Structure 1
Amino acid sequence: MRDIVLGDVTLTRVVEYYGPVGLSPGEFFPELPARSWRDHESWLVPDFVDPAGEVCVCAIQTWVLRSGGRTILVDTGVGNHKERPNAPVWHHLDTDFLGNLAQAGVQPEDVDVVVNTHLHVDHVGWNTRLVDRDWVPTFPNATYLVPRADFDFWNPADGHDPARGGGSENVFADSIAPVHRAGQVQLWEDDYVIDGDLRLLPAPGHTPGSCVLSLQSGSDRALFVGDLLHTAAQFVEPAANSCFCEDPAAARATRHRLLGQAADTNTLVLPAHLGGHGGAEVVRDGEKFAIKSWAPFARI
């Protein structure tokens, strides 16, 4: 299954990349003990960990929402032909993402809204594409919704000291600034209502402006959480951050709060990078959480 319907919203999963990301579990999640990976190995392998190479496996994917007559993209992946000298897996990536998007029935001109949950390299890449040696907006008719806190933090003119800054080299210049110059960026703060079913909410910690997209339509609930968690292991070990979190204490608190809300309201949690079924519903398990059921997407 590639599409699911939640209330009045249709959700499609479009994958740009699925595979190893060059980091071992210990490197990616330094706060998660090795025994946790062993304890949960039966369901983490192979969708989230490749035991042969001892590396984490992630998906780079875009959620396509059709809501209120509009087409909305949640995060835009890595992008093609981008100079990423400090992120080898993403350096000069060349995928058929736009072809995959077309298979889902979406042409670039059809997109009305682009949501960047935050401005890391693997969430903004297809904001732009290379045309005659210039980076131009990939989605010419879209409004790009960008958290103001992240725009200010990653803007080189403002200066910052990111946790893993090298991987962000060139990102603002080739994936954010061009759409801003084109007048297509809407900066927002506090919260932002997209329509009667969709609302953006702050979720700081991973980055200063990290946000989540809340879907509430009829009796159905979903939460698109970006990098609130990178691996399914964080469902059951929510105190563990990735190495990319700018404010570890805030990231930990935000993750626990939002997973708690999801557990209490039967909300489907859809992170940006989960392979397998792409997401899950969770239940409380003391101070942690357990997986109630996987999302109804086919495994990738």
Structure 2
Amino acid sequence: MSLKFTVGDLTIHRIIEQETSFLPALDMFPALTPEQLAENRAWMREAGALDARDTLVLCFQSYVVKTPHHTILVDSCIGNDKPRPLRPKWNMKTDNGYMRALASAGFSVDDIDFVMCTHLHVDHVGWNTRLENGRWLPTFPNARYVFGRSEFDYWTEQNAKAEVPPFADSVLPVVAAKQAEIVRDDYEIGDHLRILPTPGHTPGHMAFAFGRGRDLAVVSGDLMHTPLQTRYPELSPRFDVDAAQAAKTRRAFLERYCDTDTLCCTAHFPSPSTGKIRRSGKGFTCEAV
């Protein structure tokens, strides 16, 4: 299994924290029917995306993209020491798997220039901070952390109503440390990174397109969670804030990159997690490279 990809003048590393069973497929997707699941069970199991009990298998990972000028980490996974009682595999975790994976890819926390967040859900911001002497401090001391303006505003509003733990322990401490950049959709890093607005899963969800002059690679975040959603773009998980918008965004994204050479780097597809988007009937596939 390859954890490193070279595309043009980019080098992309997968930093895996967990690859594990998550939720039953029929529970995660309210519109998924037992008949539809049965029709797709064989290829989903062959792809490692569905286990013997029809539970989805997801990967929780970051991507580190090295451009000629910067080292950019996209989405910081689950994190350690975080109270997540609804997710036993994440709750108060203390293992060294993520940092070991980062080191195996040849990076230290000091090497990261930017931390980009596709959105601010719990499993995408966890390593933004780490616990030191009872305080949450930025994990990557030299990095600017980039949050989308509409995403940040949405969670600020939610947190004002009732504390949102991932926002409180993994986002606000970065702001307090003055390492945050809260940006609009026209934000770019040099000529190698652009924002692609992909709302629906959350109001300000963003994908990130990498490459000089054209999209050599795109990191899609939670625009889609499993290969089943490439086959059926209208399938939205119960976590989507706006399921209809997410479905529309997902199909537009898949159409945009269908039959191109752009490497699609998904957040949660099982390994190898990356591939080229190709048409398949009324839907699509993400074919491993």
> Normalization by structure 1: what TM-score?
0.90
Q: Is the 8 A contact 2:199 2:246 kept in 1?
A: yes
1:212 — aligned with what?
Answer: 207
Matching residue's letter, 1:227: D
Cα distance, 1:156 vs structure 2: 5.2
C-alpha separation in 1, matches of 2:213 and 2:42:
36
Which of 205, 225, 232 aligns to 2:220? It is: 225
Within a 5 Å distance, the mapping from 1:253-272 to structure 2 comes to 253-272=248-267
Equivalent residue for 1:68? 68
Q: How many Å apart are 1:122 and its aligned residue? A: 0.3
Q: How does 1:162-241 map onto structure 2 within 5 Å?
A: 169-217=164-212, 221-241=216-236
Task: For residue 78 of structure 1, give the secondary structure of its aligned residue in structure 2.
Answer: coil
- Shift in Å, 1:24: 0.6
Counterpart amino acid of residue 205 in structure 1: G
> In the alignment, residue 32 of structure 1 is paired with which amino acid?
L
Counterpart in the other structure of 1:164:
none
Matching residue's letter, 2:178: G
Give the direction of change, closer, same or farther, for the CA distance of 1:249–1:160 in structure 2 (3 Å limit).
Answer: farther
CA offset digits 1:28-86 (Å, max 9, x no partner):
111222223222222211611111x4321111101011012321101000101100123
CA drift of 1:264 comes to 4.5
Aligned counterpart, 2:149: 148
1:265 alignment partner AA: T
Deviation at 1:159, TM superposition (A): 4.3
How many residues get paired? 286
The one-letter code sitting in structure 2 at the alignment partner of 1:94 is: T
Inter-CA distance 219–152: structure 2 relative to 1 (3 Å threshold): closer
Q: Would the alpha carbon gap of residues 171 and 196 (structure 1) be closer, same or farther in structure 2, given more than 3 Å must change?
A: same
Contact 1:205 1:248 in 2 (8 A): yes
Shift in CA distance, 178/158, structure 1 to aligned 2, threshold 3 Å:
closer
For 1:172 and 1:220, the matched residues in 2 are separated by 30
Q: How does 1:1-300 map to 2 (within 5 A)?
A: 1-21=2-22, 23-45=23-45, 47-51=48-52, 53-96=53-96, 97-155=98-156, 159=160, 169-217=164-212, 221-291=216-286, 293-294=287-288, 296=289
SS in 2 for 1:129: strand
Given that residues 153 and 160 in structure 1 are in contact (C-alpha distance below 8 angstroms), is that contact kept between their aligned partners in structure 2?
no
SS in 1 for 2:244: helix
SS in 2 for 1:283: strand
Please state how far the C-alpha of 1:204 moved relative to its aligned partner: 0.6
Q: CA RMSD in A?
A: 1.9
Alpha-carbon shift at residue 157 of structure 1 (Å): 6.7
Q: Which amino acid aligns with 1:185?
A: A
Q: Counterparts of 2:133 and 2:170 in 1: how far apart (Å)?
A: 16
State, as a whole percentage, how many aligned pairs show the same letter.
37
Alignment-mate amino acid for residue 147 of structure 1: G
Distance 1:181 1:261, change over 3 A: same
Structure 1: gaps spanning 5 or more residues: 162-167
TM-score by length of 2: 0.93
Are the aligned partners of 2:19 and 2:57 in contact in 1 as well (CA < 8 Å)?
yes
Q: Is the CA contact 1:6–1:220 (under 8 Å) kept in the aligned structure 2?
A: no
Letter matched to residue 86 of structure 2: N
Structure 2: distance between partners of 1:120 and 1:137: 17
CA deviation after TM superposition for structure 1 residue 274, in Å: 1.2
Distance in 2, matches of 1:71 and 1:42, equals 39
Distance 1:34 1:276, change over 3 A: farther
The whole-number CA distance in structure 1 between the counterparts of 2:110 and 2:268 is 25
Take 1:202 and 1:77, find their aligned partners in 2: how far apart are those partners?
20
- SS of residue in 2 equivalent to 1:260: helix
**What amino acid does structure 2 have at the position aligned with 1:40?**
N
Once residues 279 and 3 of structure 1 are traced to their aligned partners in structure 2, the CA distance between those partners, rounded to angstroms, is 11
Shift in alpha-carbon separation, 1:290–1:172, aligned structure 2, 3 A: closer
Deviates more, 1:186-195 or 1:203-212: 186-195
